[in-house]
Structure 1
Amino acid sequence: MTTTATLSIRRFEASDTDAVVALWQEAFPEYRDVTRPQRNPHLSIANKLATQPELFFVAVFGERIVGTVMGGYDGHRGWLYSLAVDESLRRHGIGTRLVAHVENALTERGCPKLNLQVLSAKDDVRAFYEALGYRADAVISLGKRLGELAEAPAV
């Protein structure tokens, strides 16, 4: 990262959609897989804007969106979703700052614990979160697709 531009974190705005979709398609290859309708980035954005949009953040470097994170809180536990950082800018602290930002936002809401899920094949992602103090809980994650996505393949 150059010193002429500064990094800021702010709430997602609708005008950010194209840049966020492009970032997610780079960071999450499954978002490019048309056989997985549950991995539609436009649907993910629409759903987040309908539920706690104030917990959807983007990292902006200069004029460019270079990271995202979403949080959720149901009054019992918080969740962290869609942490993504532009591949060319990884290992510069952007992901760490995004995680801290959503942790602070959830702490302000009284959230006592933050959960997240990492695909088991992504050891590097797990190592990132472990370096930030996250630990594997002794739980098994179960899921069930509902509605029109009920027939979508699991993964």
Structure 2
Amino acid sequence: MTTTATLSIRRFEASDTDAVVALWQEAFPEYRDVTRPQRNPHLSIANKLVTQPELFFVAVFDERIVGTVMGGYDGHRGWLYSLAVDESLRRHGIGTRLVAHVENALTERGCPKLNLQVLSAKDDVRAFYEALGYRADAVISLGKRLGELAETPAA
């Protein structure tokens, strides 16, 4: 990062879509896998724009989007999703600033606890969050796909 450009964090705008999709496809290889329709970045963006769009943020550096984060709050727990930073700009504090930004936004809403999930194979990602004070809870995460993405039972 150069000292002449500044990093800013702002709400996502629809015109950011192509840049965010490109960033996510770089940061999350599963978003490039067309056999996993639940990982469709366009669908993720569309869904977020109808559910708490004010908690979808982008980091902008030198007039380009270099990071994203989404938050959610159901009145009981907050969630952090889709933290991504341009690979060429990692380890410059952008991810840390994005996490702090969404933490502040959720705190302002009265959120008492923030949860996130990390794929078990991503030790480097887990280490990043642990350095920010996040700890593994003694829980097992369960999931079930609904609607069009529901898994069909084996015959």
1:23–1:66 contact (8 Å) kept in structure 2: yes
Deviation at 1:74, TM superposition (A): 0.1
1:9–1:57 contact (8 Å) kept in structure 2: yes
Deviation at 1:137, TM superposition (A): 0.0
1:72–1:80 contact (8 Å) kept in structure 2: yes
Deviation at 1:62, TM superposition (A): 1.4
Deviation at 1:154, TM superposition (A): 13
Q: Matched residues in 2 for 1:2 and 1:150: separation?
A: 46
1:37–1:152 contact (8 Å) kept in structure 2: no
Counterpart of 1:98?
98
Q: Matched residues in 2 for 1:121 and 1:54: separation?
A: 31
Q: Which runs of 5+ in 1 are unaligned?
A: none
Distance 1:28 1:154, change over 3 A: farther
Distance 1:49 1:153, change over 3 A: farther
SS in 2 for 1:35: coil
Distance 1:152 1:101, change over 3 A: farther
Counterpart of 2:151?
151
Q: Per-residue CA shift, 1:124-149, capped at 9, x if unaligned?
A: 00000000000000000000000000
Q: Per-residue CA shift, 1:23-47, capped at 9, x if unaligned?
A: 0000000000000000000000000
Deviation at 1:95, TM superposition (A): 0.1
SS in 1 for 2:92: coil
Deviation at 1:152, TM superposition (A): 7.9
Q: Could you tell me the TM-score, scaled by structure 1's length?
A: 0.97
Distance 1:97 1:154, change over 3 A: farther
Distance 1:111 1:65, change over 3 A: same
Distance 1:78 1:59, change over 3 A: same
**How many residue pairs align between the two structures?**
155
Match status 1:33 vs 2:27 = no
Runs of 4+ in structure 1 deviating by more than 4 angstroms, as ranges, are 152-155
Distance 1:87 1:129, change over 3 A: same
SS in 2 for 1:70: strand
SS in 1 for 2:24: helix
Deviation at 1:4, TM superposition (A): 1.1
Q: Per-residue CA shift, 1:14-65, capped at 9, x if unaligned?
A: 0000000000000000000000000000000000001000000000001100
**Mean CA deviation greater in 55-64 or 145-154:** 145-154
Percent of residue pairs identical: 97
Deviation at 1:151, TM superposition (A): 2.4
Q: Could you tell me the TM-score, scaled by structure 2's length?
A: 0.97
Distance 1:15 1:153, change over 3 A: farther
Match status 1:69 vs 2:69 = yes
